[in-house]
Chains A and B, each alone.
Chain A
Amino acid sequence: MAKIVNREEMAQGTIILNEIQAERISQKAKPGQFVILQADETGERIPLTMADTNPEKGTITIIYMVVGKSTARFKELQVGDDYYALIGPLGKPTHIENFGKVVCVGGGTGIAVLHPIARALKQAGNDVTTILGSRSYDLLIMEEKMKAASNTLHICTDDGSKGHHGFVTDVLKKCLENDKIDLVVAIGPIPMMKFCSLITKEKNVKTFVSLNPIMVDGTGMCGCCRVSVGTDTKFACVDGPEFDGHKVDFDELAKRLASYVEVEKQSMEAFKKSRQQ
């Protein structure tokens, strides 16, 4: 029912793109929303924010980094294979309007999440400056698509293999100094979102981040994905996944993401062993 119709390996096989047949979801999904996928009956439910949708073809695109057993299992699925379960679109869509000058910051697979949002913001008339970061240029994804979705594109690499030699926050700082920015959208690893939010808070520039806590059902039923936002506890699945970056407790989020780190290792070892036999 959720057949993979297109599959690409990116960033030297560490990041995978799947275009999946999902008629109803493709018609409904808006930028910023996510789906939950499960590879097998015995699998975990993994939330992934959509990188693209194609309502005409009835497909959605997800892009994920291979980090543990579940994503390693996802990686085995080829064109023609089905996911055991796929639900969505979940979460609140990004609020899109003409804010004026917007800076979009993306890192890792956060770039995939950022893609439809940047495109929609540009279509709504915003002047979109995009800053993408990766450890090294060969790990950077979606450069061309992000170029098309932005008015200006900056690339940063930790090793200096392309663009600015350093972090996305360096370029973000410059943008904030040189221009009056109306909105920043930062999506990527937690430290990246945390430091982008700290910088924009100093300048009092409104900032959205998209969070990726552990989830089970994804419909508000379990409360696994709760995050502290200001003095409130929010459920990322139904209240998010986007929140005001100035209010999110990123340190708590990072700790909660590590809830099962020990058993996840165990799971990954067992998986590797089973694949060697």
Chain B
Amino acid sequence: MSDKKQEKIKVSRAKMPEQDPDVRRRNFKEVPEGLTPEMAVAEAKRCLQCKNPKCMEGCPVSVKIPEFISLIAQEDFMGAAKKLWERNALPAVCGRVCPQEEQCEGQCIVGKKDKPVAIGYLERFAADYARKNGSGEVPPVEEKTGKKIAVIGSGPSGLTVAGDLLLKGHDVTIFEAFHKPGGVLVYGIPEFRLPKEIVASEVATLEKMGAKIECNSVVGASVTIDELFAEGYDAAYIGVGAGLPRFMNLEGENLIGIYSANEYLTRTNLMKGYLFPQYDTPIARGKNVVVLGAGNVAMDSARTAMRLGAESVKVVYRRSREEMPARAEELHHAQEEHIEFVLLTNPTRFFGDANGRLIGMECLKMELGEPDDSGRRRPVPVKGSEFRIDCDLVVVSVGSNANPLLTNSTPGLKLNRWGNIVADPANGKTSKRGVWAGGDIVTGAATVILAMGAGRAAADSIHDYLSRGW
């Protein structure tokens, strides 16, 4: 190994400046503050510029990682952002919410001996730089093809499909059921993790590229896919998300104060309940909050409850710490903010007062038994271990089922036994001619970047179809 390379590895990985945990747990401002230009350049110089970059293999949308990092190292920050846009319409979003430790950074060669290059921080840095300092220029689009595509749902997969097809010169209309575009990026992921101004800016870029956005359009209710075809659309992409919250079917689950994570987060984020009464939609401010489940959405809910003024927030999970599905960074942030983890514990029923308001819940201790289908050790109840937790707010965050609103109104669309759309994993093609699907409505609840990866593959396939046929 040359001296030069050894020298590079000695610089330690950039540490993201963050709001102090004791301050941030009571406000909705973004937690990480972003790298300074000096920090970004120093971090970019840690990259070995591998000839055969493993990091790109770890990226579902194949961002040209070494190239954009090299441009940051040369202090061409705008150039770095443009390099990102070539493969990713939403870099400011991905830099914040992708699980980099499992993807690009998980494959980074520097990471074999040292901590991997902070690819996510750098992506975020370049995208933020372009948003704040750019001239508002957008990626150039090819000559108009005259083909019309309906993108149903404006979440991460829909926005990716739209971006890719706009670049190729197609006409794209995005249909969104809510009054604001962005899907889960707007209603689900909290402001402190993904400021809504960033989503609005990424959507505005698509609009400048020619995307039409029809908010307040519930495809399946106000118009069907077949009607869109009759109106002249050549292809449709379904990216409507999972969208039907699961409850646990326990006694007392309809007491006031028990929310699905979807409702709790939608009231807070999309409807801006945390700004009540400036915004009209109220959100319960629990004193003693329990979140059921341990995924990223559960962490978002727990940290939101803390910001809404809770005295205590407990995450109750039936397995152990090792099985918690949330990203390590989210768990770390939650713990720093005094969220307690009550592990190997399962709720059994809820208690209410005479007005139907939640006052507590009963739980059962669990222990780990033999591995189940998922390969994780199955939690088994410990007999006689019932105990009570006093709480006035519970957020149920145990996943979602497929929402049948759109699929019921679309004849010819094959579904699996859970109601998810059956689509070719390679290209998103469904059983219905001219219709593609991707994201959570196909896979069940997953991540933003996987939805974007599915969108990318579908966009390529749609372009192919529009040029050559089904």
A44 — nearest CB in chain B belongs to which residue?
Answer: B280
Q: Contact: B403 with A219, CB < 8 Å?
A: yes
Q: Contact: B356 with A221, CB < 8 Å?
A: no
Q: Contact: B263 with A222, CB < 8 Å?
A: yes
Interface residue tally on A, bucketed by range: 35 or more
A221 to B254, CA, bound (A): 16
Encode B255-294 as 1/0 by CB contact (under 8 A) with A: 0100110110011000110001111111010000000000
Binds A, one of B32-40, B128-136, B216-224: B216-224
A91 — nearest CB in chain B belongs to which residue?
Answer: B221
Q: Contact: B244 with A221, CB < 8 Å?
A: yes
A147 to B177, CA, bound (A): 37
Chain A 188-232 interface residues, beta-carbon cutoff 8 Å to B: 216-217, 219-224, 226-228
Highest count of chain A CB atoms <10 Å: which of B221, B267, B403 = B221
CB-CB under 8 A for A219 and B221, given A87-B177, A263-B276, A264-B282: yes
Q: Contact: A252 with B279, CB < 8 Å?
A: no
Binds B, one of A119-127, A138-146, A177-185, A254-262: A254-262
A252 to B280, CA, bound (A): 24
Q: Contact: A42 with B222, CB < 8 Å?
A: no
Say yes or no: is B6 at the interface (Cβ < 8 Å to chain A). Answer: no
Interface residue tally on B, bucketed by range: 35 or more
A226 to B253, CA, bound (A): 10
Q: Contact: B179 with A38, CB < 8 Å?
A: yes
Say yes or no: is B309 at the interface (Cβ < 8 Å to chain A). Answer: no
Say yes or no: is A6 at the interface (Cβ < 8 Å to chain B). Answer: no
Q: Contact: A70 with B280, CB < 8 Å?
A: yes
The interface residues of chain A lying within 8 Å CB-to-CB of B218 are 87-88, 90, 219
Q: Contact: B221 with A223, CB < 8 Å?
A: no
Q: Contact: A222 with B277, CB < 8 Å?
A: no
- Give the Cβ gap from B378 to chain A, nearest Cβ, in Å: 26
Q: Contact: B282 with A238, CB < 8 Å?
A: no
Q: Contact: B280 with A267, CB < 8 Å?
A: yes
Chain B 387-404 interface residues, beta-carbon cutoff 8 Å to A: 403-404
Q: Contact: A263 with B266, CB < 8 Å?
A: no
Say yes or no: is A3 at the interface (Cβ < 8 Å to chain B). Answer: no
Say yes or no: is A95 at the interface (Cβ < 8 Å to chain B). Answer: no
Which one of A228, A252, A267 lies within 8 Å of B277 (CB-CB)?
A: A267
A223 to B246, CA, bound (A): 9
Chain A 54-70 interface residues, beta-carbon cutoff 8 Å to B: 69-70
CB-CB under 8 A for A263 and B356, given A87-B222, A233-B253: no
Which one of B216, B262, B266, B356 lies within 8 Å of A85 (CB-CB)?
A: B216
Q: Contact: B271 with A238, CB < 8 Å?
A: no
Say yes or no: is B243 at the interface (Cβ < 8 Å to chain A). Answer: yes
Which one of A1, A86, A223, A238 lies within 8 Å of B263 (CB-CB)?
A: A223
Highest count of chain A CB atoms <10 Å: which of B215, B223, B262, B404 = B262
The interface residues of chain A lying within 8 Å CB-to-CB of B222 are 24-25, 28, 87-89
Say yes or no: is A43 at the interface (Cβ < 8 Å to chain B). Answer: yes
Say yes or no: is A99 at the interface (Cβ < 8 Å to chain B). Answer: no
CB-CB under 8 A for A222 and B221, given A87-B177, A228-B254, A259-B256: no
- Give the Cβ gap from A36 to chain B, nearest Cβ, in Å: 9
Which one of B179, B216, B245, B279 lies within 8 Å of A222 (CB-CB)?
A: B245
A148 to B244, CA, bound (A): 41
A267 — nearest CB in chain B belongs to which residue?
Answer: B277
Q: Contact: B282 with A221, CB < 8 Å?
A: no
The interface residues of chain B lying within 8 Å CB-to-CB of A87 are 177, 216-218, 221-222
CB-CB under 8 A for A233 and B247, given A267-B276, A267-B280: yes
Say yes or no: is A45 at the interface (Cβ < 8 Å to chain B). Answer: yes
Q: Contact: B271 with A216, CB < 8 Å?
A: yes
A89 to B260, CA, bound (A): 24
The interface residues of chain A lying within 8 Å CB-to-CB of B272 are 42
- What are 7 pairs between A and B in contact, CB < 8 Å? A87-B177, A216-B271, A216-B281, A219-B403, A223-B262, A226-B254, A259-B256
Query: Known contacts A219-B403, A263-B282; can you find 14 more A-B pairs with CB under 8 A?
Result: A28-B223, A44-B280, A45-B271, A73-B280, A85-B179, A86-B216, A217-B266, A221-B262, A222-B266, A226-B247, A226-B254, A228-B254, A233-B249, A252-B254
Across the A-B interface, give the 6 residue pairs with the lowest CB-CB distance, nearest first: A255-B356, A222-B263, A85-B179, A223-B260, A44-B280, A263-B282
